[in-house]
Amino acid sequence: MPRADFQVVVGLEVHAQLLTRAKLFSSASTDFGQAPNTQTTPVCLGMPGALPVLNEKVVELAIRTGLALGCTVNQRSEWSRKHYFYPDSPKAYQITQWDFPICEWGEVSFEVDGRLKRARLRRIHIEEDAGKSVHDAADGLTLIDLNRAGTPLLELVSEPDLRSADEAIEYLKALREILVAIGVNDGNLEEGSFRCDANVSVMRHGSTTLGTRCELKNLNSFRFIKQAIEIEAERHVELIERGGVVEQQTRLFDPDRGETRAMRSKEDAHDYRYFPEPDLPPLLVSAETIEAVRRSLPELPRAKRQRYVEQLKLPPYDAQVLTADARLARLFDACVLQFPDAKKVSNWFQGELSRLLNSSGRGADQVKFTPAQFGALLRAVDDGTISNSTAKDVFAQVFETGKDPLAIVAEQGLAQSTDLGELERVVDEVLAANQKNVLGYRGGNLKLLGFFVGQVMKAMKGKGNPNPKTVNELLVKKLG
Amino acid sequence: MSALYELTLAEVSLALAQRRVSASEVLDAQVARLGAVEPRVQAFLRIDEAGARAAATASDARRSAGQSLGPLDGVPVALKDNLLTRGVETTAGSRILSGYVPPNDATVTTRLKQAGAVILGKTNLDEFAMGSSTESCPFHLTQNPYALDRVPGGSSGGSAAAVAAREVFGALGSDTGGSIRQPAALTNVVGLKPTWGRVSRSGVIAYASSLDQVGPFGRTVTDVALQLKVIAGHDPADSTSSDAPVPDYAAGLTGSVKGLRIGLPREYEVAGMDPHVLASVKAAAKTLQGLGATLVELSLPHTGAALAAYYLIASSEASSNLGRYDGVRFGHRAEGVKTLRELYVKSRSEGFGEEVKRRIMLGTFALSAGYHDAYSVKAQQVRTLIRRDFEQAFGVCDVVLSATSPVPAWKQGEKLDDPLALYLMDVLTIPCNLAGLPGVSVPMAPTSAGLPTGLQVLGRPFDEQTVLNVAHAWERETSYFRRAPEL
């Protein structure tokens, strides 16, 4: 099996749309799904005399991203023009950052098969998105929609540090998780707001020289990315095994046929004729701004998971589930402040809360109860005021109405009885009426305890709500 | 009283303020003047009499109500046709923009309108402002009012000729390598190129963005100062516009050059220079010395490389700026094409003229992989050296004095087949653009044949005031500006 002799090498370029209301260089809205060419200004349309004016919000989001990924944020970066003729590029150039990007040298860490790995990020730069060409809209016409033209993008370029398709996928998932958690991107691959091109090559195991790479495009789901990388690596291996040479190319992934096809080779690659954008001054960012953004950064998912396991002593599985949704993790942190037994809170979050969120279709940031109410409810269970099953009913009401749980307990008479005299009388009655089972229990059939508990609880109906724990203890004592 | 059209901008402004004349009467006078001379001068591509009439009426209404928007209120002016005017066709002198009606005004247009100026029309230019004679344009030629068989200079030849022919009291042009100062020199008017960043470029149809700057023409330095005050200042729509405060330039014209150090760069005595022009500059220096200025001979050692650097940088940026004219969204679109490539090639081949194509090709080549370092990077290095030359010069002098154009106006068609000879006409004006400095051209002694010449004053960045002040002192001493063309 020759495949085993080869090592796959992958580098990824991610384009992430930034969550801003206005475009990168114009006041036009970034709203999707609007009528074609309505979200435009003369700047988006490349009209004569129109000049770009930087949306400062974009810079903040780029710095946020750079800091979250451990990059150096350059206090001076520059804008460049990248030239190409295409109808959805209205100026015939894209404003991007070339020689001097805003962020450099960070890393993304991710887990593969339970092992922690890192890939270096070479650079993050800001650039504008193109419009859309709608082919064969009617009568073989191509129509242009420039609503998307000028939408702010971050391009995040990794080093070729990934060694399998699975690593590439985990890298992307970890990167996406961070971008979503810090509020810069919505992470949607299908709608193209998180896009990826993959540079794939192979080399023999033990080699230190990278093979010739091919750039894969049209990868709009994790499944396709994985497929495309594997198929492309296989193609390289077969070529080399047959004595061929891999040509540097840009290739298109065809998911229907399960193959990659050459789009263009190195020779006819675009000459983008970069030069510094004369319509924009260099982008200067003060050290104070960078520090202010740093202070505003939320705890990142990986750090959060680590804290949950190490400090809160949660099982890794719990940490994973709780941090999968940043809103859920925020609520969890607030609730743990009110009720410090993190494992109990975690159980409630994974059980009742998750069930109620699912059935109501609400997000964890839209719940009606306060963390203080949640804490009070768990304390009531803990001190025996209500039983666990009562607490679930109460919580459902709290979730629905936002009413105080202790008020519900009081109004509906749900507090557990502590009249031990009455309870002891009922226990004696039950034991007297079931002598055969008493003998059975004493003879070793300990499972019968459940039967006695059931009988006692039944007999106590209407006479207060005994705490099952107390009933248990009393029965064991009497039967012993 | 002399005819209204003979007044300077400042004079007509005063007449309007004192209500000795109405804006409508001034407009009538200028429309009559246009009727008399425009067929021979052909400074305009478009006259917007209806728009001008409405503006004049509005101005008169303000005056009747005892209000005024300032010294330009009710004054007829003209705009070079690379400055956007909302609802009025704007072509940049190119077929590719024939019929293009902009949805918005340039910031300079807005500011003129807000100051009450009456915009009479759009003036002729070399296509996309690329040229020195207003001959490389597809529509019609503009004649020099002082010699109708000669060029008015360029690229803002239409604006210069319109002011020189007394068709308007002021006009705006744009200057990328001398396109305001050189036509001003050739037509006996004052033309100022402000510091890059002093005036907004928003709504200016770009030729070479890092060099382009809008500036005013007038018959006198005061007229230019009054217009500059209106158009200068920061504009949120142009991120490269400066927020440095805008002084009252006209009020700052002291007429004194006492104690001022005037630099005379030896490199600005170029080969092929007209002997009369050279002698006139030397005489001018002596005159200013007589007024109390000190003369400093100095060197700007990298001047010789400026022309080459300019044509590389300007052409590179032009090749980029003109990519948007692709026939897809606006402007000329070729008929009967079958593919996208054909649409691009045919629309652009039909729409652009020879000179524009020449510069697009030159710029594209200079930016291409493999040539980028040898040309583009080198040109930027030269630019830095030229900027340093001036920084050093301004350590020992306050302004730099030279001729504006090495020669007076030449005959139409004379240099058309020799682009290099035409490029050489810009040799004294180009370094100022590369360094981003302010520069003015002010009328100097005419040749024996009666052809106008111009004296150029360059200053420190954002020191338009000193530049204008020197020109003003010279103008008061010599009065060449009083000379009028025989039309």
Q: Which of A275, A280, A283 to mutate to test the interface with B (most CBs of B within 10 A)?
A: A275
Amino acid, single-letter form, for residue B370: G
Q: Which residue of A has its CA nearest to B238?
A: A51
| B123-148 pLDDT tens trace | 999 999 999 999 999 999 999 999 99
Q: 10-residue block means of pLDDT along chain A (480 residues)?
A: 79 96 95 91 96 97 95 97 93 96 94 88 97 83 92 97 95 93 91 93 91 91 94 93 91 91 78 94 97 91 88 91 85 94 94 91 89 93 84 92 90 74 84 89 87 85 73 84
Question: Between vectors from CA A411 to CA A410 and to CA A414, what angle results, nearest 5°?
Answer: 55
Q: Give the pLDDT confidence score for residue B410 in this predicted structure.
A: 95
In chain A, ranges of CATH 1.10.10.410 domains: 420-479
- Chain CA centroid to CA B114, Å: 22
Exposed (0-12), middle (13-18) or buried (19+): which is A276, by Cβ within 10 Å? middle
**Do B169 and B179 contact (CB within 8 A), yes or no?**
no
Q: Read out DSSP for B390-446?
A: HHHHHHH-SEEEEESSSS-PPBTTTTTT-HHHHHHTTTTTHHHHHHT--EEEEEEPP
| Model confidence at B444: pLDDT above 80 | yes
* Residue B196 contacts residue B209 (beta carbons within 8 Å): no
Residues of chain A positioned with their CB less than 8 A from the CB of B333 = none
B119 min Cα distance to partner chain A (Å)? 19
- pLDDT, position B95: 97
Task: Please judge whether B320 and A47 are an interchain contact, meaning their C-beta atoms are less than 8 angstroms apart.
Answer: no
List residues of B whose CB lies inside 8 A of any A CB.
84, 90, 92, 97, 100, 102-104, 106, 201-206, 208-210, 236-240, 316-317, 319-320, 323-324, 326, 328-330, 340, 344, 364, 367-369, 372, 376
Q: State the Cα–Cα distance between residues B78 and B170, nearest whole angstrom.
A: 7
Q: What is the pLDDT of residue A267?
A: 67
* Whether pLDDT at B48 is above 70: yes
For A46, the closest of B319, B324, B367 (CB atoms) is B324
In this structure, what token pair is assigned to residue B228?
Answer: 């500059």
CATH number of A420-479: 1.10.10.410
CB contact under 8 A, B320 and A90: no
Q: Following DSSP, what letter does each residue of B192-249 receive, concatenated?
A: EEPPTTTB--TTB--SSTTT--EEEEESSHHHHHHHHHHHBS--TT-TTS-------T
Interface with A, mutate which of B83, B91, B211, B239 (most A CBs under 10 A): B239
Cα A388 to Cα B104: distance, rounded to the nearest angstrom: 70
The CA distance from A145 to the nearest CA of chain B, in Å, is 11
Pairing of strands A80-83, A143-145: unpaired
Cβ contact, residue pair A87, B317, below 8 Å: no
Question: Which chain B residues touch A90 with a CB distance below 8 Å?
Answer: 324, 328-329
Choose the closest CB to A92 out of B239, B326, B340. B326
Which candidate from A83, A87, A144 shows the least CB-CB separation from B320?
Answer: A83
Q: Write out chain A residues lying below 8 Å of B237, CB-based.
A: 51, 53
Residues A336-373: tens digit of each pLDDT: 999 999 999 999 999 999 999 989 988 888 899 999 99
Q: Which of B172, B199, B316, B321 to mutate to test the interface with A (most CBs of A within 10 A)?
A: B321
| Distance, CA of B196 to CA of B242 (rounded, Å) | 9
- C-alpha distance from B23 to closest chain A C-alpha (Å): 31
pLDDT at A340: 92
pLDDT attached to residue A417: 64
Query: Which residues, in sequence order, are CB contacts of B477 under 8 Å at separation 6+?
Result: B287, B291
The per-residue pLDDT for B272 is 85
Give the model's pLDDT for residue B425: 83
pLDDT, greater one: A3 or B367:
B367
Cross-chain CB nearest to B368 (options A46, A47, A271): A271
Question: Is there a contact between A52 and B239 if contact means CB atoms under 8 Å apart?
Answer: yes
pLDDT-based confidence at residue B420 (cuts at 50, 70, 90): confident
Amino acid at site B334: A
Contact B328/A87, CB-based, under 8 Å? yes
- In the set B132, B155, B316, B402, the catalytic residue is B155
Contact call for A91 and B106, based on CB within 8 A: no
Q: How close does chain B come to A130, measured CA to CA in Å? A: 14
Average pLDDT rounded to a whole number, residues B383-392: 98
Residues of A with CB under 8 A from a CB of B: 42, 45-54, 81, 83, 85, 87, 90-93, 142, 144, 271, 273-275, 278-281
Asked whether the beta carbons of residue A83 and residue B104 sit closer than 8 angstroms, the reply is: no
B155 is catalytic: yes
Is the distance from CB of B183 to CB of B191 less than 8 angstroms? Answer: yes
Helix, strand, coil percentages (3-state) for chain B, rounded to 5, are 45, 15, 45
The residue among A270, A170, A178, A176 whose CA lies nearest residue A215 is A270
CB atoms within 10 A of CB B251: 10
The nearest alpha carbon in chain A to B85 belongs to A49
Pairwise CA distance, residues A437 & B330, whole Å: 95
pLDDT of residue A379: 92
pLDDT at residue B351 tops 50: yes
Q: Is the dihedral of CA B9, B15, B17, B21 positive or negative?
A: negative
Whether B347 sits among the annotated catalytic residues: the reply is no
Name every chain A residue with its beta carbon within 8 A of the beta carbon of B356.
none
Contact A90 B84 (CB under 8 A): no
Residue range B247-265: mean pLDDT, rounded:
97
The total of other beta-carbon atoms located within 10 Å of residue B358's CB is: 15
Closest Cα in chain A, distance from residue B92 (Å): 10
Substitution target in B196, B329, B339, B365 with the highest count of A β-carbons within 10 Å is B329
A85–B323: do the CB atoms touch at under 8 Å? yes
pLDDT higher for B87 or A110?
A: B87
**Contact yes or no for B205 and A48 at CB 8 A:** yes
Non-local CB neighbours of B462 within 8 Å, separated by 6+ positions = B195, B198, B242, B244, B438
Residue carrying structure tokens 């094409």: B337
Give the mutation candidate from B367, B368, B433 for the A interface (greatest A CB count, under 10 A): B367
β-strand partners of A250: A215, A264
Give the residue from A153, A179, A151 showing the smallest Cα distance to A97.
A153
Residues of chain A found within 8 Å of residue B239, distances taken between Cβ atoms = 51-54, 279-281
Between chains, do B209 and A278 touch, taking CB under 8 Å as contact? Answer: yes
Catalytic option among B80, B122, B193, B229: B80
Could B317 and A278 be called an inter-chain contact, meaning their C-beta atoms sit closer than 8 Å? yes
Which pairs count as long-range contacts for A316-322, CB under 8 Å and 24+ apart, including other chains?
Answer: A318/A343, A318/A346, A318/A350, A321/A349, A321/A350, A322/A346, A322/A349, A322/A350
Evaluate whether B182 touches B155 at the Cβ level (below 8 Å): no
3-state SS string over chain A?
A: CHHHHEEEEEEEEEEEECCCCECCCCCCECCCCCCCCCCCCHHHHCCCCCCCCCCHHHHHHHHHHHHHCCCEECCEECCEEEECCCCCCCCCEEEECCCCCCEEEEEEEEEECCEEEEEEEEEEEEEECCCEEECCCCCCCCEEECCCCCCEEEEEEECCCECCHHHHHHHHHHHHHHHHHCCCCCCCCCCCCEEEEEEEEEEECCCCCCCCCEEEEEECCHHHHHHHHHHHHHHHHHHHHCCCCCCCEEEEEECCCCEEEEEEECCCCCCCCCEECCCCCCEECCHHHHHHHHHHCCCCHHHHHHHHHHCCCCCHHHHHHHHCCHHHHHHHHHHHHHCCCHHHHHHHHHHHHHHHHHHHCCCCCCCCCCHHHHHHHHHHHHCCCCCHHHHHHHHHHHHHHCCCHHHHHHHCCCCEECCHHHHHHHHHHHHHHCHHHHHHHHCCCCCHHHHHHHHHHHHHCCCCEECHHHHHHHHHHHHC
Taking the CA of residue B405 and the nearest CA in chain A, the distance in Å comes to 28
Catalytic entry in B159, B174, B179, B347: B179
**Residue B55, min C-alpha distance to chain A (Å):** 24
Question: Cα–Cα distance between B317 and B211 in angstroms, integer?
Answer: 9
Contact list in A for residue B433 (CB cut-off 8 A) is: none
- Look over chain B and give the mean of its residue pLDDT values, rounded to a whole number: 96
Question: What count of Cα atoms within 13 Å lies in the side-chain half-sphere of residue B209?
Answer: 26
Nearest to B227 by CA among B300, B173, B308: B173
The pLDDT value recorded for residue A1 is 36
- As a whole number of Å, the CA-based R_g of chain A is 31
How far A279 CA lies from chain B's nearest CA (Å)?
A: 6
What fold, for B4-251? Amidase signature (AS) enzymes (3.90.1300)
Rounded to whole angstroms, how far apart are CA atoms A305 and A303?
5
**What sign results for the dihedral spanned by CA atoms B65, B69, B73, B77?**
negative
- Number of helices (H) and strands (E) in chain B: give both, helices first: 16, 11
CB–CB of A92 and B100 under 8 A?
A: no
Asked if the Cβ–Cβ distance from A90 to B324 is below 8 Å, we say yes
Residue (of B200, B237, B234, B203) closest to B215 by Cα position: B200
* Edge-first strand listing for the sheet containing A93-96: A93-96, A80-83, A275-276
- B98 is known as an active-site residue: no
The partner residues of A128 in beta bridges, in order of sequence, read A152
What pLDDT, on the 0 to 100 scale, is given for residue A464? 66
Q: Measure in Å the smallest separation between the Cα of B330 and chain A Cα atoms.
A: 8
Quote ipTM for the complex: 0.95
Task: List chain B domain ranges.
Answer: 4-251
Residue B378 identity (one-letter amino acid)? K
CB pairs under 8 A between A and B: 94
B329 vs A54: CB contact, 8 Å cut-off?
A: no
| Residue B178 confidence (pLDDT) above 80 | yes
